[in-house]
Homo-oligomer: A and B are copies of this chain.
Amino acid sequence: MTLDREQVLRSAAALLSRKSTATMDEVARAAGIGRATLHRHFAGRDALVRALENLGIQEFEAALDAAALDEGSAEEGLRRLVIAVEPAAGLLSFLVTENQLFEGDDLNEGWDRLDARVAAFFRRGQESGEFRIDLTPAWLTEALYALIGAGAWAVQVGRVAGQDFPHMIAELLLGGARRSVEQ
């Protein structure tokens, strides 16, 4: 019996990534459980979102670990990160837009840590000479999040093939749209 809390969170993430205004009832149905049961495990919508936040933070952190950003070139690190983060892209996109709604009073401090890790990665890339220095690490971090969200959305609605997700994001973020001479 013992409800699989993890599984409920997964399906909630999948649903809310697509429809961020989904009802508690819809979330419950999507998870194949009753609304009452959902409420027994998550005190309310806030608690559910916070649990999803923790899940998202945990997954993004795992992706950062798996990417081993310190090893090899910064470019390779970024490619590994994008690949590692793909499964969590939808959830992260949902959480980012959700966070933008709050006034910042009860922001989960986990985001700061993640932001710092990503920004530090870009900064290292700049210091090693791989990344240009006229784009700030903070902006590159924001841009990475935005492109991950856009990529997840584009795949969702079928504008981009799912298999192209890592390539589209990493290539655009690294090399931009301009056709460079070296190609």
Across the interface, which residues of B come within 8 angstroms of A130, CB to CB? 178-179
In the complex formed, the residue of B with least CB distance to A176 is B176
Q: Is B180 a contact of A168 with CB atoms below 8 Å?
A: no
**Taking the complex as formed, is A97 at the interface, i.e. its CB lies under 8 A from any CB of chain B?**
yes
Q: Is A159 a contact of B142 with CB atoms below 8 Å?
A: yes
Q: How many residues of A contact B (CB 8 A)?
A: 49
Mask for A98-129, Cβ within 8 A of B = 1, else 0?
00110000000000000000000010010001
Q: Is B142 a contact of A177 with CB atoms below 8 Å?
A: no
A163 CB to closest chain B CB, in angstroms? 13
Contacts A100-B153, A101-B19, A130-B178: A172 and B142 contacting too (C-beta < 8 A)?
no
B20, B134, B183: the one contacting A132 at CB < 8 Å is: B183
> A135 CA to B101 CA in the complex, in Å?
32
Contacts A132-B183, A153-B100: A178 and B143 contacting too (C-beta < 8 A)?
no
Contacts A135-B171, A138-B154: A129 and B179 contacting too (C-beta < 8 A)?
yes
Q: Which of A26-34, A56-64, A81-89, A144-152 contacts B (4 or more CB under 8 A)?
A: A144-152
B138, B140, B145, B172: the one contacting A135 at CB < 8 Å is: B172
**Taking the complex as formed, is A8 at the interface, i.e. its CB lies under 8 A from any CB of chain B?**
no
Q: Is A159 a contact of B139 with CB atoms below 8 Å?
A: yes
Mask for A18-55, Cβ within 8 A of B = 1, else 0?
01110000000000000000000000000000000000
> A100 CA to B139 CA in the complex, in Å?
24
